Structure 1
Amino acid sequence: MNRTFLSLATAGSAAMLLGAFGFEYIGELAPCKMCIWQRWPHGIAIVAGVLALALKQRLSAMIGALAALVTSMIGFYHAGVEKGIFEGPDSCTSGPIGGMSTDDLFNQIMSAPLVRCDDIPWEMFGISMAGWNGLISLALFGMWLLVLRRA
């Protein structure tokens, strides 16, 4: 296996995960539910990368590639929810209030999470954190494919 691309792909997921924790703990930007969903595949990719480096297993590299693709897809979906292109999960987005009783509206407000998935807490060049995760993770997926191709 190509150790250079394997190391870069593994380090890329580690950097993405560290960046997410940095925004949360240093930048004080609490993550929403979908932000958390995007972190798990990066963790899986890191473990898969370490195993692939240590054991030179093609299966570990396949798992790393799949994890990078999954977090990229979640990131693009989340960015679409933030821009209003897709409807997000009811558990972390705001819903319509038309035709709701006072009790239903109160229950919706009280059950809403502190951080909504359809808010954009940070963006750069018009791209949100979720969008950047989608783009960078897609590039990481490409690196994983190079690892698999050269295996």
Structure 2
Amino acid sequence: MSPSLRLARWIAFLLPLSLILGALASQYLGGLYPCELCHWQRWPHYAAIVLAGLAFVIPGRSQRTGLVTLAMLAILISGMIGVYHAGVEYHWWPNLAPCASTMTGAGTIEDILAMPVISCDQPQWTFAGISLAGFNALLSLGGALTILALLFKRKPL
């Protein structure tokens, strides 16, 4: 396996894994409840983790390259959703998604009333004016472009 494909595979696996672990930590340890668009950004990362993980166990260069390419596309999709979400937060365009938190499992009326209502157009946390959606957009799009460049990298003559 070429060094560039090996690096692309690791990035395609570790980038979405890191972003998901960061999102889950901010949710369960930091108390930042995800909105609907936050969840939308997570699903492609879950898919990318599985696809890139399979690229470690499936034999054959073309199969591994295909799985890494699919993982890169999933990361790219999450980044594009992140751009959309950040634009909603910065009020660059209107939000077309339903944005309130969702409840998992059965709950009482008290549980439902105690749930925070999370709006997609109000970032819960920012650093240097960039929200979590903005960071996801930057990291995912940058990672997807890096993986793409590595996949198209030719061996020196």
TM category, shorter: 0.7 to 0.9
Summarize the alignment of residues 62-81 of structure 1 with structure 2, pairs less than 5 Å apart. 62-81=69-88
Matched, 1:87 2:94: yes
Identical residues among aligned pairs (%): 38
Q: Is the 8 A contact 1:61 1:147 kept in 2?
A: no
Q: Map 1:19-38; keep pairs closer than 5 Å.
A: 19-38=22-41
Distance 1:13 1:143 in 2: 13
Superposition misfits of 4+ residues, deviation over 2 angstroms? none
Q: State the match for 2:117 in structure 1.
A: 114
Structure 1, residues 11-55: CA drift from partner, whole Å, max 9, x if none? 011000000000000000000000000001111111111112222
Q: 1:104 is matched with which residue?
A: none
Structure 1 residues 38-96: Cα deviation after superposition (integer angstroms, max 9, x where no partner): 00111111111111222242221221111011000000100000011010025228xxx
Structure 1, unpaired ranges of 5+: 94-109
Give 3-state SS (helix, strand or coil) of 1:114's partner: coil
> 1:53 aligns to what SS in structure 2?
coil
Find out whether 1:4 has 2:7 as its counterpart: yes
Normalising to structure 1: TM-score of the pair?
0.81
Aligned-partner SS, 1:20: helix
Q: 5+ residue gaps in structure 2?
A: 101-112
How many residues are aligned here? Answer: 133
Give 3-state SS (helix, strand or coil) of 2:57's partner. helix
CA RMSD of aligned residues (A): 1.9
Which residue in 1 is equivalent to 2:129?
Answer: 126
1:16 aligned partner: 19
Would you say the 8 A contact 2:83–2:133 is kept in 1? yes
* TM-score calculated relative to the size of structure 2: 0.78
